[in-house]
Amino acid sequence: MQTNKIIIHDQNCTGCLTCQLICSFTHRKIFNPSEAFIRIQTIDHTKKISFTSECNNCGLCAKYCLYKALERVEE
Report which residue type is found at 74: E
**What is the third-level CATH fold of 4-74?**
Alpha-Beta Plaits (3.30.70)
Predicted pLDDT of residue 2: 60
Measured CA to CA in angstroms, residue 65 lies from 1, 7, 22, 44 at distances of: 25, 12, 10, 22
- Is the Cβ–Cβ distance between 19 and 8 less than 8 Å? no
Q: What is the DSSP letter of 9?
A: -
Mean pLDDT by 10 residues, the chain (75 residues): 84 97 98 97 94 95 97 88
